[in-house]
Amino acid sequence: MEKMLVKRLNRSEVPTEMTWNLKDLYPSRVEWLVALEMIENELDEAKTFKGSVLSSANHLKKTLLTYESIMLQLIRCGTYVGLRQSEDGTNPQNQSDSLQYSSLNTKVDTTLTFIHSELLNLDEAMLESFIKEENEIGVFKLFLEEIISSKQHKLLPETEEALAALGEVHSAPYRIYETSKAADLEFDSLEDENGKELENSFAMFENLYEFSPNHTVRKNAYESFTKTLNQYKNTYASVYATQVKKEVALSKLRNYKSVTHMLLEDHKVSLDMYHNQLNVIYKELAPHMRKLANLKKKQLGLETLHFYDLKAPLDVKFNPTTTYEEAKDTILKSLEVMGPEYVSIMEKAFNERWIDYSDNVGKSTGAFCSSPYGVHPYILISWQDNMRNAFVLAHELGHAGHFYYANKNQRVVNTRPSMYFVEAPSTFNEMLLGQYLLKQTNDPNMKRWVILQLLGTYYHNFVTHLLEGEFQRRIYELAEKGTSLTATTFCEVKGNVLKEFWGDSVEIDEGASLTWMRQPHYYMGLYPYTYSAGLTASTAISRRIESEGQPVIDAWIEVLKAGGSKKPEELLKMAGVDLTTSAPIKEAVEYVGSLVNELESLF
């Protein structure tokens, strides 16, 4: 039988309309290089404030405005090079530029540490008197209050400067992981049931083959995928262990009770809120997910449900595809409930090339939204013609809408809310898409299919990311005890987390225990569990919209505009959700259970 290998495009072969327009950041790389020089020049100006930041209200204002100006330029420069690297990690120029930017970023951190060090001498009374003298300082109040509250964990100015100088070293684990994942990992091709040869890649496995209705394709793609992961597990374990050890060492150096206390500080939430999120879902969602797994096993006619079967379409006979253009129209219609202003932002994203949706060699896997201040958000996704990708795109557009509003209504220091809140606006859009699709049909097949898409959203946030969060929690506990962190350790812990959650409903093999190698989130602090916090909030708010309507929408738009000017707890209370209790989490889990029950009845 003749074999045909489906080839992926190189970046230079991708049609322009499928790529993002980075000229909105800089017309060309030349202007980007000029911007780097401008940052260097402004750094020289910033140095003149050293030793006199708090000498007067006027001096403090000038220091803060210079700091803000440098941050604005740095964000823009960093976004440009980051997006270039994301679109093609194999490009040597992108790799080189990324290192050049990283070096400048470290220089900025090192040079400006004196500002933070001198601001540690600020207290609430002095701050209030300075604001009375210079009103513009009030814009930076939250930023300054956080510095005042962090005093106990700050080190001597010289030590802070030395640590800042090691910025490139501190960010090395993440950079090594991402570079290796984009440029080094090569996967064996695989055969489908007809002997046709198919290429494999990280993006193709995670966006296409895992969702294949064909058992042979799923199995062969999984074996190809995990074979390569297995070859790199010791290297990746060494990289990840370095990341964890670095964080533990810094937490001790800064006198935190634990590394978890340190990592949660940026989230601006309590330890109880963190543990609640993990404990309730890990324990109470498991029975619902096992029920779903058993339903899938029965419907697919499988003797054993393997890990690679978990994302297989449950309804093989009814699995409509959707093109990018069709998904665009559906998403825009589903978001009309948010009002014309919000929809116009979404239309800009499509019409003004905010979205890069090709799949090409060297492109980052997964999807993300980057939102540089003063420009507009950018979205990366490797589009496949399935409805799951429509939900992913709606998710990223939720981030885009959020930061478009926040950037328009806040100064740069107040745009980003804590990580704990950041996934609420994105998952909220997924909920609206699901609700819209359910209202559009009375066809049991279609209804069943939409429920499966909604469950895909909960699976992604309440299972995939939640189990990552549980894995992290256990790894940090082991690290605090001084346990050796090796590939064996990571695989054992990940395997145990999966086995405890799925019980005997899913076969957890050695390949499944390598899942810790698949996500960059482990290099971003305690990021994974926050997905479930966001979806808990968006579940509550989207369901309130169904019953209460416009007032809830109006409140939510105000929350989006508030950006990071309030703590997550306050932002959510503006929208009528209290996540200091476990009630909203339990309600969200119960809602997932009701979806599983409804799905079962439809079969």
Q: What is the mean pLDDT of residues 173-192?
A: 88
pLDDT, tens digit (0-9, with 9 covering 90-100), for 83-140:
999 999 999 999 999 999 999 999 999 999 999 889 989 999 999 999 999 999 999 9
Name the amino acid, one letter, at 375: V
Considering the domain architecture, whether residues 135 and 279 belong to the same structural domain is answered as no
pLDDT, tens digit (0-9, with 9 covering 90-100), for 241-279:
999 999 999 999 999 999 999 999 889 899 999 999 999
Q: What is the mean pLDDT of residues 517-531?
A: 92
Considering the domain architecture, whether residues 152 and 277 belong to the same structural domain is answered as no
Among 505, 41, 118, which residue's Cα sits nearest to residue 296?
505
pLDDT, tens digit (0-9, with 9 covering 90-100), for 347-361:
999 999 999 999 899
Considering the domain architecture, whether residues 301 and 170 belong to the same structural domain is answered as no
H helices of 184-285, where? Answer: 202-207, 215-253, 259-265, 271-284
| Contact predicate 233/514, CB 8 Å | yes
State the pLDDT at residue 168.
83
pLDDT above 80: residue 4: no
Considering the domain architecture, whether residues 168 and 267 belong to the same structural domain is answered as no
Instruction: Provide the domain count of the chain.
Output: 2
Give 6's pLDDT tier (boundaries 50, 70, 90): low
57/165: higher pLDDT: 57
State the pLDDT at residue 373.
96
41/386: higher pLDDT: 41
State the pLDDT at residue 3.
42
Q: Which has the minimum average pLDDT: 285-289, 440-444, 538-542?
A: 440-444
The neighbour count for residue 247, using CB atoms within 10 Å, is 21
| Alpha-carbon torsion, ordered 369, 372, 377, 380, to 10 deg | -40
3-state secondary structure of 6: strand
Would 141 be classed as within a structural domain? yes
State the pLDDT at residue 446.
86
Q: What is the mean pLDDT of residues 443-461?
A: 89
pLDDT above 50: residue 161: yes
Would 425 be classed as within a structural domain? yes
Would 442 be classed as within a structural domain? yes
**Six-digit token string for 20:** 């993002």
Q: What's the longest Cα–Cα distance across the chain?
A: 82
Considering the domain architecture, whether residues 432 and 556 belong to the same structural domain is answered as yes
pLDDT above 80: residue 317: no
Q: What is the mean pLDDT of residues 210-236?
A: 94
| Contact predicate 9/358, CB 8 Å | yes
Pairing of strands 378-380, 355-356: parallel
Considering the domain architecture, whether residues 168 and 269 belong to the same structural domain is answered as no
The model's pTM is: 0.82
CATH assignment at residue 60: 1.20.140.70
3-state secondary structure of 190: strand
Q: What percent of the chain has pLDDT over 90?
A: 78
pLDDT, tens digit (0-9, with 9 covering 90-100), for 318-327:
777 899 999 9
Domain termination residue (choose one: 125, 143, 174):
174
Q: Which has the minimum average pLDDT: 3-12, 70-79, 393-402?
A: 3-12
pLDDT, tens digit (0-9, with 9 covering 90-100), for 463-516:
999 999 999 999 999 999 999 999 999 999 999 999 999 999 999 999 999 999
Considering the domain architecture, whether residues 166 and 283 belong to the same structural domain is answered as no
Considering the domain architecture, whether residues 458 and 319 belong to the same structural domain is answered as yes
Would 189 be classed as within a structural domain? no
**Six-digit token string for 133:** 């003298």
H helices of 335-409, where? Answer: 340-351, 387-409
Would 50 be classed as within a structural domain? yes
Domain termination residue (choose one: 126, 147, 174):
174
Considering the domain architecture, whether residues 421 and 557 belong to the same structural domain is answered as yes
**Six-digit token string for 264:** 């949660």
Domain termination residue (choose one: 174, 209, 230):
174
370 DSSP β-pair partners: 378
Give 523's pLDDT tier (boundaries 50, 70, 90): very high
Would 53 be classed as within a structural domain? yes
Residue with tokens 């941050």: 71
Would 326 be classed as within a structural domain? yes
Considering the domain architecture, whether residues 270 and 152 belong to the same structural domain is answered as no
State the pLDDT at residue 308.
95
Instruction: Quote the CA–CA distance of 557 and 552 in Å, as a whole number.
Output: 9
Classify residue 197 by burial, with Cβ atoms within 10 Å: 0-12, 13-18, 19+: middle
State the pLDDT at residue 421.
92
If you compute the radius of gyration of the chain from its CA atoms, what whole number of angstroms results?
A: 24
State the pLDDT at residue 178.
87
Instruction: Quote the CA–CA distance of 574 and 556 in Å, as a whole number.
Output: 8
Which domain range does residue 299 map to? 259-338+398-603
**Six-digit token string for 130:** 């300075």
Instruction: Quote the CA–CA distance of 166 and 552 in Å, as a whole number.
Output: 46
Sign of CA dihedral 530, 82, 385, 542: positive
Considering the domain architecture, whether residues 583 and 437 belong to the same structural domain is answered as yes
Among 543, 587, 542, 267, which residue's Cα sits nearest to residue 421?
267
The neighbour count for residue 327, using CB atoms within 10 Å, is 23
| Contact predicate 514/229, CB 8 Å | yes
The count of residues in the chain is: 603
pLDDT, tens digit (0-9, with 9 covering 90-100), for 534-585:
999 999 999 889 889 899 999 999 999 999 999 999 999 999 999 999 999 9
Considering the domain architecture, whether residues 482 and 580 belong to the same structural domain is answered as yes
CATH assignment at residue 528: 1.10.1370.20
Would 224 be classed as within a structural domain? no
Mean pLDDT of the chain: 92
Q: What is the mean pLDDT of residues 383-388?
A: 86
603 DSSP 8-state letter: -
Show the CA angle centred on residue 81, arms to residues 78 and 86, nearest 5°. 115
